[in-house]
Amino acid sequence: MAFKLLYALSFLLLLLPIPTIAQTYPNISFGSSLPAQEDSPPWASPSGEFAFGFRKLSNDGFILAIWFDKIPEKTIVWSANGNNLAPKGSTVELNTFGQLVLNYASGEQTLISHDQSKDTGVAYAAMLDTGNFVLADRDSNNLFQLTLESNGSVVLYTTNFPLDSTNFPYKRIEPITSNLVDADSAFQLIFNQSGSIYVTDSKGNIRTIVSDRTVSVQDFYHRATFDYDGVFRHYTYPKNNGSSVWSTLLFIPKNICWELTEETGGGACGFNIICKQDPKGPTTCECPKNYMFIDPNDERKGCKQNFLPQSCDEASPETDLFGFQAMLNTDWPNGDYEHFQPVTEEWCKQTCLSDCFCAIAIYDGSRSDCWKKGIPLSNGRMDLGVGWTSLVKIRLGNSTRRPLSIPDAKTKRSSNLTLIGSVLMLIVTHMVVVIISCLVVSHIYSRKAKVSDLYPVINLKCFTYLELKLATSGFKEVLGRGAFATVYKGVLASDKGKLVAVKRLDTVVRENDWEFKAEVSAIGGTNHRNLVKLQGFCNEGQHRILVYEFMSNGSLASFLFGESRPSWYQRRDIALGTARGLSYLHEECSSQIIHCDIKPQNILLDDSFTARIADFGVAKLLKTDQTRTTTRFRGTKGYVAPEWYKSLPVTVKADVYSYGVLLLEIIFCRKNFEADAEDEDQMILADWAYNCYKQQKLHLILQNDDDAIDDIKMVEKYVMIAFWCIQEDPSMRPTMKIVTQMLEGILEVSVPQNPSSLYAI
C-alpha cells in the first residue's frame, strides 16, 4: 500500500519539510522580475539556504527553478520549464495581476501560476526558508504555494496559516487524483518537523508510516523524491560540511527490480535488459553480453541484440555459429514459453540452440529445470536471491553464415581420382539400391496392413519411415525450422513425383501415441480451401512425421516482411481467408480444434496466393462436450493470449487473440514488436496502432501505401476488428465466425475498447 500511495503522490514530494519559524523576509512586489543570465542574483530565502531564479544548464538555455543555495551541488528541488529551456534574455516576472509569468526572449509567455489573483487577492511573493516559493494575499493570512499537478503543471494551493506563525509543525501536501487515491478521501502525505514521513486520513489518523528515521533538521537538509528509476528516496545532507554528498536515509521499495514486474511490460528497466538494485544509489540497467542499448541516452528504452539473429528460414540451422554466455543469479521471469524437467544443463543448451526462437535458456541446477525464453525478454534482474543461471544465446565472433570451403591445390590435383571413384561407387550403389528396393516394397505393404488398422476412419496414407527418407533424399532440403520440428521438401515417387512438405517432429517433444493419433485423425478429417491438406503421416517406432501439401509461395511472413510491400487488396484477401479457415476449425469440424500457434510463419500461400493455415502440430482438440481445455504453454510469444501466461483454461478465443495480432501485421506489413523502432511508442504495434486510431492518424503507420490510404475507411474497420480480437478478457473477443462476418461486411463493427498494454509481447 505504501509503495502504491507514494507513486500516486510522487509529483508533490519536491516540497521540503524544513520547520517554519517566525521570520521576516523580503517581499517580492508587483512588477519585480529576474533576467535569464549567469550573473543575475536569484530571489533568496531569508537564511540564504534556498533560492528562486534561473540556472544555466547548457548552451541551450536556462531553467527556472528552486534550489539549495548553500551547498556546492546547488541541488534543484523544483523547476518550471525543464522541457522548454529559456534562452538568454528571458525573464520571470510577478506582474500587476499577481501572476507569475515566464517571458521567453522570443515573445512566448508561460503562466507559472494559475490566474487566481481575482479570487485570492495575491499581493506579493516570497521565497521562504521552507524551500517554498509562495504568493501572499494582502492581509498576509494565506499563502498560495507553488506545487505540481500529476501532469507536471504548476498550481496554487491555499495554505491556511499566518506568515508569522511559530507553531507550524509540519507541511501538508494535497493529494492528486489517481486511480489509487480517491481525491475525496482527504489523504495527506506529511513530512513533519522531525523528518518523519507518513500518510494521514481525513480525520488526521496516521494510516501508513513511510519513514520514521529521525535525523536533525537543524543539522541536515532533507528532501524526498520519486526518482527516475521508480524508487522513492528520502535524502539528507549535513549543513556544516561543504564537502559532503546527499545520503539516502530510506528508499521504497527495497528492490525495484523485484517489486516492479509486469506480465506484458518490460519491468523496471525495459525489454531485453538486466535490472540491478544498488541500496546506496540509483538502480542500474545493463545489457546482456552482445546486446546494446536501443537509445544510449535513455537506458530504460531497453536493449537489442548486437548481432544477426539466428535464421529460421535458411536450410542451415546455424547451430555451429552460436554459443552461450552464462550469467549467474540472473532471470527474466514471466516470459518462458517452454519448460522441461528433469534435464541437464547441456541438454538445455542444445534445445535452445536448435530453436531459432529461443534467445535465452534459464537453468536451475538444483531442480534440473530448463526454461526457454524468446525476444522480447521482460522483467530482467540480477540478484543473489535469484539462484539460477541464464544462458544467453550469442553469435560466435562476427560470423553471419556458414563459411564456404575453397579447394586448395592439393584438392584440385586429387579431383580427377575422386571423380573416377565416384563413378564406380555410383554403379555399385545403383545395384544395391535395386536389390534393397525389392525388399522394401514387400516390407511396405506388410507394414501398411498393420498400421492402417490404427486409423480406420480417415482417408490418409500411412507412410513408412523409409519411404519418407527416400522421398526427401535423406531429409536433405530444409524448407523451414520451428521450435519443435523441421520441414523438408519431398518428392513422392509413388504419386507421379508430387511435391510435398515433410514435417519431422523432434524427439524431445514427441507426446503420447494416443495424442498423436488423435491429432492425425482430427486434422486428417478436415477439408477446407484455407487449410493446408494433410496427405499422410508416419507413426513408426520413434518416428513422428506428417506429410502436407507443398505450398509454392512460401509463408505469409516472407510475403509481408520482405523488401516489397504486397498490395492492400491481396492483404485483405489473405486476412479474410485466414479468418475463414480458423472459423472452420472452431465451428465446423466434428472435433473443435484450437490451432494454438497462429502467426505469419504458419500461414502459407499457394499458387494463387490463397491463405492456407498450416502447422497443426501443436493444435489442441476439444471433444464435442468441451468448451475449454487446460494444457501446457503452446504457441509463439508475441501472438499468445494472456490466459496462457496466467495458467487459465484455454478456449478457441486464444486463437482469436493470435489472429488479432496477425491482422494488425497484415494491415500494416509490420511485425508486432520491433526493438529498432524510431520511437519507443512505436515498438509495440498494437499500442502504436491504437494511439493512431484514436487520433485518426492511421496513415502514419501505412507509410506511403497509397492503395490502403485511399481505402482508409476499410483500414480503420479492419483495425477496429483487430482491437476487438486482442481484448484481454476472452469473453470480450468475438468468435472467428463473427470476425469473418465483420470482415465480409455482413456485421457492423462497433467502437472497440482500448486493449492497452495488456497485449502480450
Q: pLDDT (tens digit, 9 = 90+) per residue, 558-569?
A: 999 988 889 999
Residue 503 among known ligand-binding residues: yes
On whether the CB atoms of residues 81 and 92 are closer than 8 A, the answer is no
> Same domain for 246 and 347?
no
Where is the domain boundary, 352, 374, 395?
395
Contacts of residue 496, defined as CB under 8 A and 6 or more positions apart, other chains included, come to: none
Q: Which pLDDT score is estimated for 316?
A: 60
- Amino acid of residue 69: D
- Asked, for residue 438, whether it belongs to a domain, the answer is no
- Asked, for residue 409, whether it belongs to a domain, the answer is no
How would you write 157-175 as a 3-class SS string? EEECCCCCCCCECEEEECC
> Same domain for 141 and 72?
yes
- Asked, for residue 391, whether it belongs to a domain, the answer is yes
Question: What's the grid cell of residue 514?
Answer: 494416443
CATH number, domain at 513?
Answer: 3.30.200.20
Q: Which pLDDT score is estimated for 738?
A: 92
> Same domain for 627 and 749?
yes
**Strand pairing class (143-148; 133-137):** antiparallel
Across the chain, which distance is largest between two alpha carbons, in Å? 115
> Same domain for 538 and 615?
no
Hey, CA dihedral for 595, 598, 604, 608, is it positive or negative?
Answer: positive
Q: How far from each other are the two terminal CA atoms of the chain, in whole angstroms?
A: 28
- Asked, for residue 346, whether it belongs to a domain, the answer is yes
CATH number, domain at 362?
Answer: 3.50.4.10
Q: What whole-number distance in Å separates Cα of residue 503 and Cα of residue 505? A: 6
Question: What's the grid cell of residue 222?
Answer: 532533507
> Same domain for 93 and 149?
yes
The whole domain housing 526 covers 447-549
Beta bridge partners of 285: 275
Where is the domain boundary, 395, 421, 438?
395
Cell numbers 490418409 label which residue? 460
- Asked, for residue 406, whether it belongs to a domain, the answer is no
Q: By C-alpha distance, which of 333, 177, 181, 357 is closest to 268? A: 333
> Same domain for 244 and 372?
no
On whether the CB atoms of residues 500 and 535 are closer than 8 A, the answer is yes
> Same domain for 633 and 674?
yes
- Asked, for residue 673, whether it belongs to a domain, the answer is yes
Q: What whole-number distance in Å separates Cα of residue 324 and Cα of residue 370? A: 14
CATH number, domain at 34?
Answer: 2.90.10.10
Where is the domain boundary, 146, 168, 190?
168
Q: What whole-number distance in Å separates Cα of residue 634 and Cα of residue 372? A: 12
> Same domain for 655 and 703?
yes
> Same domain for 349 and 494?
no
Contacts of residue 203, defined as CB under 8 A and 6 or more positions apart, other chains included, come to: none
Count CB neighbours of 206 within 10 A.
11
Cell numbers 496427405 label which residue? 535
Of 229, 336, 597, 687, catalytic: 597
Question: What's the grid cell of residue 258?
Answer: 523485484
Which stretches of the chain score pLDDT less than 70? 1-26, 114-121, 137-186, 193-194, 211-214, 241-243, 262-266, 279-281, 312-317, 335, 398-458, 483-484, 507-519, 521-522, 617-637, 645-648, 756-761
What total number of domains does the chain contain?
A: 5
> Same domain for 13 and 48?
no
> Same domain for 456 and 343?
no
Q: By C-alpha distance, which of 479, 728, 735 is closest to 615? A: 479
- What 3-state class would DSSP assign to 103? strand
Contacts 24+ apart (CB under 8 A), 520-525: 520/455, 520/458, 520/460, 520/546, 521/455, 521/457, 521/458, 522/589, 522/590, 522/591, 522/593, 522/619, 522/621, 523/593, 523/616, 523/619, 524/455, 524/458, 524/459, 524/460, 525/457, 525/458, 525/589, 525/590
From edge to edge, which strands make up the β-sheet containing 76-79? 43-44, 50-58, 61-68, 76-79
Cell numbers 531497453 label which residue? 302
> Same domain for 242 and 180?
yes
**749 Cα distance to chain centroid:** 28
Q: Which pLDDT score is estimated for 149?
A: 40
Is residue 710 part of the annotated active site? The answer reads no
Beta bridge partners of 54: 64
Q: By C-alpha distance, which of 87, 103, 85 is closest to 95? A: 103
- Asked, for residue 425, whether it belongs to a domain, the answer is no
Contacts of residue 751, defined as CB under 8 A and 6 or more positions apart, other chains included, come to: 720
- Asked, for residue 405, whether it belongs to a domain, the answer is no
Question: What's the grid cell of residue 412?
Answer: 584440385
